[in-house]
Amino acid sequence: MMLPSVTAAEITKIKSDLPVEIKEVHDQDWYYASLPKISATEKGKAPLEEADTVKGNPAREMVQLTCADVDSLVQLRQQCQAPC
């Protein structure tokens, strides 16, 4: 059984050096559509604030949590090895 692509009479060549253009679509359109809309009367009124500011030291907290996990596993191992 032959596939239709093999039995086709003419092979279509694809030219990759030509740019693809879509009318009425610009590179920035998707970006501008995703931006929040701010009314002209509200622009520049209040100082900008970060939504989620990082407090403390995340790296130190991760190390402390890891050490606490290791300590609890060591204690559990000691309890299992203790003679009953």
| pLDDT reported for residue 38 | 79
Q: What is the pLDDT of residues 13-57, one digit of tens each?
A: 767 777 767 676 666 777 778 888 877 777 777 766 777 777 888
Query: Distance between CA 19 and CA 12 in Å, rounded?
Result: 18
| pLDDT reported for residue 43 | 75
Q: Which of 36, 58, 56, 57 is nearest to 48 (CA)?
A: 36
Query: Distance between CA 21 and CA 70 in Å, rounded?
Result: 58
Using a 10 angstrom Cβ sphere, with 0-12 exposed, 13-18 middle and 19 or more buried, the burial of residue 69 is exposed
| pLDDT reported for residue 25 | 64
What's 43's DSSP letter? T
